[in-house]
Amino acid sequence: MPKQNTVKSAVQVNGIALHTGVRASLRILPAAENTGIVFRRVDMPGSPEVKALAGNVIDVRRATTIASRTTGAFVLTVEHIMASLHAACVDNAYIEMDGPEPPIADGSAKSFFQGIMNAGIEEQDAEAEYWTASAPIVFEDRNTMIALLPADDLQISFTTEYNYSKLDTQFFHCNITTETFGKELSLARTFCPYNELAQVIAAGLAKGGSLDNAIILHDGALISKDGLRYPNELVRHKMMDMVGDLFLVGKRVKAHIMSIKSGHPTHVKLAQMMLEQETKNKQ
Ligand SMILES: [Zn+2]
């Protein structure tokens, strides 16, 4: 049986926070077995903690935000860090944050994932825990659809469509391992349709956004710095987000998930349904 893992040494990532536009830094630190993934707001008195679990999600618009019910401390945009930890099989870690938002870096999971891999993975004594399906989970939510089937590993088949151009209808399938995540998903950047930018900016968001950390969809084209990193970078980014959101079940996931146009709201709903299935099986 595989064992639980943590990081061998601290991982530091610095940069600009996407929404607030201020400088932000975080540290991923080793944690004892059975700790799970715990965010710590070291900028707040008493450094309150927020456990990365689906039950602590308070907002899913554009990013996944979690909060502690007792202290009210919250952390925005946890998905790229969570995806990197999930893919690297890091079950236990503290994430020290100097504000509510992590650095956006280049809009992909690259700096988190590479930081973790460079620090190294430390095997612990306890056995790793996996979420596995006892029955399929299928649901529709407006124009999105998710079907989860039992499987011996984590596989995702994802379709995106935004109706802005032919370029944004994309399909990708991947067996998620540490290796495939690094090669196929970790570099895929976030994106925003041009006509939504005004709304985002009016809402006081994306103050740190630029072509340094996002792809813009505009007038039938994808506008990005130095071209695209993958021909289907959009769907790969959505898949990376999903790997992160799924880790909110609190353990590594083994399942085949087919998604049509899902995003954070449907991913978090799926994670909640997965936890409900698990609870029901224990009764
Ligand atoms: Zn993302």
Query: In the sheet where 191-193 sits, what is the strand order?
Result: 191-193, 215-218, 221-223
Give the active site residue among 80, 237, 264, 267.
Answer: 264
User: Distance (Å, rounded) from C-alpha 243 to C-alpha 222?
Assistant: 24
Examine residue 46 and state whether it is found in any structural domain, yes or no: yes
Q: What is the pTM of this model?
A: 0.96
Quote the Cα angle for 95-99-104, to 5°: 75
Three-state DSSP state, 63: coil
Calculate the average pLDDT of the chain: 94
Condensed to tens digits (0 to 9), the pLDDT of residues 195-206 reads 888 888 888 877
Write out the residue range of the structural domain in which residue 113 sits.
Answer: 3-129
Q: Residue 97: name the closest of 151, 22, 2 by CA.
A: 22
| Token representation of residue 213 | 């950390």
Condensed to tens digits (0 to 9), the pLDDT of residues 84-136 reads 999 999 999 999 999 999 999 999 999 999 999 999 999 999 999 999 999 99
Examine residue 222 and state whether it is found in any structural domain, yes or no: no
Give the distance (Å) from ligand 1 centre to CA of residue 181: 14
Give the CATH number of the domain where residue 97 resides: 3.30.230.20
Q: Phi/psi at 259 (nearest 5 deg)?
A: -125, 135
DSSP 82: H
User: Distance (Å, rounded) from C-alpha 136 to C-alpha 155?
Assistant: 14
User: Distance (Å, rounded) from C-alpha 198 to C-alpha 252?
Assistant: 38
Examine residue 115 and state whether it is found in any structural domain, yes or no: yes
User: Distance (Å, rounded) from C-alpha 38 to C-alpha 66?
Assistant: 11
* The total number of residues written for the chain in this structure: 283
Cα–Cα separations (whole angstroms), residue 223 to 17, 57, 107, 214? 21, 32, 14, 9
User: Distance (Å, rounded) from C-alpha 283 to C-alpha 278?
Assistant: 9
Examine residue 192 and state whether it is found in any structural domain, yes or no: no
Give the distance (Å) from ligand 1 centre to CA of residue 241: 5
Known active-site residue 264: yes
User: Distance (Å, rounded) from C-alpha 263 to C-alpha 236?
Assistant: 12
Give the distance (Å) from ligand 1 centre to CA of residue 6: 23
Please enumerate in sequence order all residues whose Cβ is within 8 A of that of 282, keeping only pairs 6 or more positions apart, or say none.
none
Beta-bridged to residue 132, according to DSSP, are: 254
Give the distance (Å) from ligand 1 centre to CA of residue 117: 20
Please check whether residue 268 is in contact with residue 248, taking contact to mean a CB–CB distance below 8 angstroms: yes
Examine residue 93 and state whether it is found in any structural domain, yes or no: yes
Give the distance (Å) from ligand 1 centre to CA of residue 132: 25
Examine residue 159 and state whether it is found in any structural domain, yes or no: no
Count of alpha carbons within 13 angstroms of residue 281, beta-carbon side:
11
Number of domains in the chain: 1
Give the distance (Å) from ligand 1 centre to CA of residue 280: 31
Give the distance (Å) from ligand 1 centre to CA of residue 84: 12
Please check whether residue 80 is in contact with residue 244, taking contact to mean a CB–CB distance below 8 angstroms: yes
Give the distance (Å) from ligand 1 centre to CA of residue 247: 14
User: Distance (Å, rounded) from C-alpha 161 to C-alpha 191?
Assistant: 13
* pLDDT (0 to 100) of residue 212: 86
Examine residue 261 and state whether it is found in any structural domain, yes or no: no
| Ordered DSSP codes for 266-279 | HHHHHHHHHHHHHH
* pLDDT tens for each residue of the chain, 283 residues long: 899 999 999 999 999 998 888 999 999 999 999 999 999 999 999 999 999 999 999 998 888 999 999 999 999 999 999 999 999 999 999 999 999 999 999 999 999 999 999 999 999 999 999 999 999 999 998 899 999 999 999 999 999 998 877 778 999 999 999 999 999 999 999 988 888 888 888 888 778 888 888 888 887 788 888 889 999 999 999 999 999 999 999 999 999 999 999 999 999 999 999 999 999 998 8
Q: Which residues have C-beta under 5 Å from ligand 1, the single-atom ion?
A: 190, 241
Give the distance (Å) from ligand 1 centre to CA of residue 180: 17
Examine residue 69 and state whether it is found in any structural domain, yes or no: yes
Please check whether residue 105 is in contact with residue 84, taking contact to mean a CB–CB distance below 8 angstroms: no
Tokens 């959101």 map to which residue?
245
